[in-house]
Each structure stands twice: as structure tokens, then as C-alpha cells.
Amino acid sequence: MAMKRRTFARHMREGLKNIGRNGWMSFATISAVTMLLFVIGSFSVLMLNANSFISAIENEVEIRAFLELDTDSDEQQNVMQEIANASEVEEVRYLDREEGLDQFIDSLGSEGEVYESIRDENPFNDALVIQASDPELTENVAAEVNRLEEIETVEYGASILTQLFTVTNYVRIIGGVFILGMLFTTIFLISNTIKLTIISRRDEIQIMKLVGATNRFVRFPFFIEGLLIGIIGAITPIAILVTGYVYLYEFLSTQMPFITMLEPFPLVWQVSALLIGLSIIVGIWGSQMSVRKFLQV
């Protein structure tokens, strides 16, 4: 039994009208949606940034394997090839001793100038700079490389690294749990608010049924209403989040360039899509769940 077009139009009109007819309740529901989406949205943006920041740090973790002084360039080529072929290794780069010293001096900034005098007595050997395919494999890779006879010593921030990994894992787990918790709180709060509005409308639903309305006829306007409340509720948090993030990004990139945020686009659109999708699902789900209880007339 297909629904007639005019009935569909009627349900759309009715759903829209119902938002006005139940003014305060609609306002309360929309406000609840708005507030919670705002919290979820800001938290997601924060988490995404923290996550990318952590990944960036992790990816900078590299192993420096200093070659024995007596290796010739053939041997160096071979050992480099051997390391590059290992599946745990992402990338191997050759760093000659001059370059190594330059980097070292650079990293010290103005204090590095005193070392300019020791250029002739360069303490560095030629080295291989290795990046593990997964930052967490760094320790293993370093141990393996150290075992090769062409390698004299291996350097990497061992203790800092393990600390970093435990911290980042905690941050991610706590963040994930927090987002999940927010999600359930939202769904619970919104469905509760909608339930309240519908309890106040159970008489209406009963009359509809007694006048000969089918369940579908009763439900459809509620469906539209939930959809609209979801959409309306998402507008404000999305507007604030998009403008706020773009503004903050520009502010930080000029005032505090050392803090790197994710590019605002397309990130803000992705988060907006997530929010609107979430609020529509919650709006419809909430309204349909609660109307169901009163249809038995």
C-alpha cells in the first residue's frame, strides 16, 4: 500500500507544524541536541588534532645506525639494501658524517657555534637513518640492526620512546571511551526529552487511533518531526565549530606557529557531516522509539 503523494505532503506539513504546536518541548529537545552535539563536535576535533600530533611525533622517531669506520662504500651499499629489505623497515637513508655534524650543530642553535671549531675532528661516523614501518617496532629494529657487523653503534630515544607509546595509547583509549560515553549520554538524554514530549502527547495519539488512523499515519509526522529537530539542532553547533576552528587555525598559525593544527578543510566538513548524521539518527530513533509505546489503542 503505497502512500498517496498528498498524504506524504500532509505528513511533512504536520511534522513541521508539530514543532510549532509543541513550542517549548521542541525548544528543549533542540537545545539538548545542540548542546551535546557541540560537546561531541569539539571533543572530536580536539581528539583528531591530538591524534595527528601524536602520530607526527611518532613518525619522527628514527634510528641512527653508525657504520664501522672501516666499511667501504660497497659494504655500506649492501648493508643498506639488507636493512631496506626487512619488512619492519619503512625507509633507510644514508647520512654522511659531514651532514650528521651539520644537523647536530643546527639542533643546538646558537650554542652550536662553539662546535664549529671541531669540524676537523668530526666525532661522527657515516650513519644510516632508519624508520620502522610502525613506530612501535623501533626498539626491535634497532636491536636487529645493532647485530650487523658493519654497524658500530645504534642510537634512538629508547626510554622516551617507550614512555611516549604508553602515554599516547592511554590518550587514545581514554579519548575513545570518552567519546563513546558522550554518544550514549546524548542518545539517552535526547530520547528522554523526546519521550517526555510524547508522553504529553499520548492523548493525541490515542484520539488519532480512535478516529481511524493507522499506526503508520500516526508515526510518519513524528518521524518528520524527529528528522527536523535533528537538523535544526545540528545547525548551531556546526556553525560555531566551523567558524571557531577556522578562526583558531588562522590565529595559531600566525601567533603560535610551533603548534600545528590539522588543516581546517575538509576536516570541519567531515566533522559537520558526522554531527548532522548523528543528530538525524538520534532524532528519528528517539521519536520512533517513544511513539511506539502509545500506539496500542
Cis check for the bond before 266: say yes or no (omega within 30 of 0).
yes
Residues in 264-293 that interact with another protein by CB under 8 A: none
- Residue range at the interface with another protein (CB under 8 A); choices 30-38, 41-49, 203-211, 223-231: 203-211
Q: Does 29 bind another protein (CB under 8 A)?
A: no
- Identify which of residues 16 and 187 has a Cβ nearer to another protein in the complex: 16
- Residue range at the interface with another protein (CB under 8 A); choices 27-35, 43-51, 131-139, 209-217: 209-217
Q: Is 132 helix (H, G, I), strand (E, B) or coil?
A: strand
Pick the binder of another protein from 209, 264, 288, 289 (CB under 8 A): 209
- Identify which of residues 66 and 220 has a Cβ nearer to another protein in the complex: 220
Q: What is the dihedral of CA 209, 212, 216, 218, to 10 degrees?
A: -40
Total residues binding another protein (CB under 8 A): 19
Residues in 215-234 that interact with another protein by CB under 8 A: 215, 217
237 forms beta bridges with none
Pick the binder of another protein from 110, 121, 147, 211 (CB under 8 A): 211
Pick the binder of another protein from 6, 111, 147, 184 (CB under 8 A): 6
CA distance linking residue 232 with residue 234, whole number of Å: 5
- Buried residues in 264-289 as b, exposed as e (16+ CB within 10 A): beebbeebbeebbebbbebbbbbbee
Q: Does 207 bind another protein (CB under 8 A)?
A: yes
Residues in the chain: 297
CA gyration radius, the chain: 31
Pick the binder of another protein from 86, 105, 213, 235 (CB under 8 A): 213
Q: Does 2 bind another protein (CB under 8 A)?
A: no
Where does the chain have alpha helices with state H? Answer: 5-21, 23-60, 73-85, 97-108, 138-146, 158-199, 202-210, 215-255, 264-292
Closest of 199, 173, 218, 194 to residue 279, by C-alpha: 194
Pick the binder of another protein from 24, 210, 255, 258 (CB under 8 A): 210
- Identify which of residues 22 and 71 has a Cβ nearer to another protein in the complex: 22
Pick the binder of another protein from 78, 214, 253, 260 (CB under 8 A): 214
CA distance linking residue 82 with residue 148, whole number of Å: 10
Asked whether the CA dihedral 225, 227, 228, 229 is positive or negative, the reply is: positive
- Residue range at the interface with another protein (CB under 8 A); choices 1-9, 171-179, 231-239, 274-282: 1-9
Q: Does 21 bind another protein (CB under 8 A)?
A: yes
Pick the binder of another protein from 75, 82, 102, 204 (CB under 8 A): 204
What does residue 110 show for φ and ψ, rounded to 5 degrees? Answer: -65, -30
- In the complex, the residues that contact another protein under the rule CB under 8 A are 4, 6-7, 10, 21-22, 204, 206-215, 217, 297
